[in-house]
């Protein structure tokens, strides 16, 4: 079974949780920009969290499902349509063969994930199905989704769709999607990663070189709003704001960097490193975004959206991680209960 792409979106790629543990070999972890939304999209169709999904940014593609499929679209707020009527989001939807899905544009946030029961079945490369665009490997031969492409899904996707939706229908809380043959449920999954304030508040701990910056720059970093500029991408979010400067010239050796490292190049404009970041960097690191807020940064849409940074302690960062992990796990457990014993 395949999903045929009628029209390409702005940036749509096949992604999973990436290739962790190989950065010492210069292999970028990559993977999804918003791991929380990706995991919840998978849980909505009964998949394990690492199943490959279609990650779409800002404007999604138009697709045709050649066979029945159980799908879910979750993350940023889009306005997708199924056979010309609004498609329910953040919930499982049983679409029928021939269904056309137009994912539309984001009205809030940046990244959303289309999960299909069984997962998108592109080849595994270096332990992952994720697309690494700068290196040209993984996913669909290292490329974005384009018109005419066939997205392969699991061989048993049709059977999984039937069995899993039958489990969901036990409660009787199902409903037709408008006048289409598609069916969905009456409940939905909460959105956890969209910023709740404007500008988005992003918690950070001091980076390795925070003390290298002059007093005015350190104050500006936390006191000013930063705009995510359109030149941002999956490698890094470039920020526009006051120029940051070191207190004195420094030579810094290249060191390992992380998802959420905030580097400051010679321009004085910070860059938040994202999923497709390089493995090492030689720019001074003023801060590190806490793990729990990395998905929220990913959802700050480039252009007019803004953020501001808030310094926290390592204890606060650890607590925030634990709280988010617990909340995600609780939601996934509730979703597994909806599916019953058919999901393993």
Per-domain residue ranges for the chain? Answer: 2-189+327-342, 200-312
The span from the CA of 184 to the CA of 93, in Å, is 4
Which whole number is the average pLDDT over 82-97?
96
Report pLDDT digits (tens) over 269-315: 999 999 999 888 889 999 999 999 999 999 999 987 899 999 999 99
pTM: 0.94
Per the DSSP assignment, residues forming a β-bridge with 73 are: 114
pLDDT at res. 198: 87
Average pLDDT over the chain, rounded to an integer: 94
93, pLDDT greater than 60: yes
pLDDT at res. 341: 57
Contact status, residue 180 vs residue 62, Cβ threshold 8 Å: no
The span from the CA of 263 to the CA of 195, in Å, is 22
Which whole number is the average pLDDT over 57-69?
95
The span from the CA of 235 to the CA of 232, in Å, is 8
Neighbour-count burial for 82-110, b at 16+ CB within 10 Å, e otherwise: bbeeebbbbbbbbbbeebbbbbbebeebb
Per the DSSP assignment, residues forming a β-bridge with 27 are: none
pLDDT at res. 196: 86
pLDDT at res. 23: 85
Which whole number is the average pLDDT over 232-252?
93
Is the backbone peptide bond immediately before 54 cis, with ω within 30 degrees of 0? no
Which CATH homologous superfamily contains domain 200-312? Cyclophilin-like (2.40.100.10)
342, pLDDT greater than 50: no
């Amino acid at each position: 079974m395949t999903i045929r792409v009628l029209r390409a979106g702005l940036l749509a790629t096949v992604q999973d949780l990436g290739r962790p543990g190989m950065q010492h070999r210069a292999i970028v972890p990559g993977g999804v920009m918003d791991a929380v939304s990706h995991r919840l999209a998978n849980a909505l169709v009964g998949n394990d969290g690492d199943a490959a999904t279609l990650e779409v940014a800002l404007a999604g593609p138009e697709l045709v499902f050649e066979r029945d499929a159980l799908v879910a679209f979750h993350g940023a707020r889009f306005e997708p349509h199924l056979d010309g009527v609004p498609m329910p989001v953040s919930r499982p939807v049983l679409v029928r063969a021939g269904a056309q899905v137009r994912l539309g544009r984001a009205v809030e946030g940046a990244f959303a994930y289309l999960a299909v029961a069984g997962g998108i079945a592109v080849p595994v490369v270096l332990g992952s199905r994720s697309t690494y665009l700068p290196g040209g490997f993984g996913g669909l031969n290292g490329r974005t989704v384009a018109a005419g492409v066939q997205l392969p899904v699991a061989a048993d996707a049709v059977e999984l769709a039937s069995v899993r939706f039958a489990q969901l229908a036990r409660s009787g809380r199902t409903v037709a999607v408008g006048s289409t043959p598609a069916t969905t449920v009456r409940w939905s999954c909460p959105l956890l990663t969209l910023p709740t304030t404007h500008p988005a508040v992003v918690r950070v701990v001091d980076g390795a070189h925070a003390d290298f910056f002059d007093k005015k720059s350190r104050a500006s970093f936390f006191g000013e709003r930063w705009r995510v500029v359109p030149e941002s991408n999956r490698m890094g979010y470039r920020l526009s704001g006051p120029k940051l400067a070191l207190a004195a010239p420094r030579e810094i050796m290249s060191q390992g960097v992380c998802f959420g490292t905030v580097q400051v190049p010679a321009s004085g404009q910070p860059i938040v490193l994202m999923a497709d970041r390089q493995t090492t960097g030689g720019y001074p690191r003023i801060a590190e975004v806490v793990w729990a807020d990395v998905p929220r940064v990913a959802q700050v849409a480039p252009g007019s959206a803004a953020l501001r940074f808030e310094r926290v302690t390592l204890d606060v960062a650890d607590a925030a991680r634990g709280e988010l992990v617990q909340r995600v796990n609780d939601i996934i457990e509730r979703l597994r209960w909806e599916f019953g014993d058919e999901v393993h």
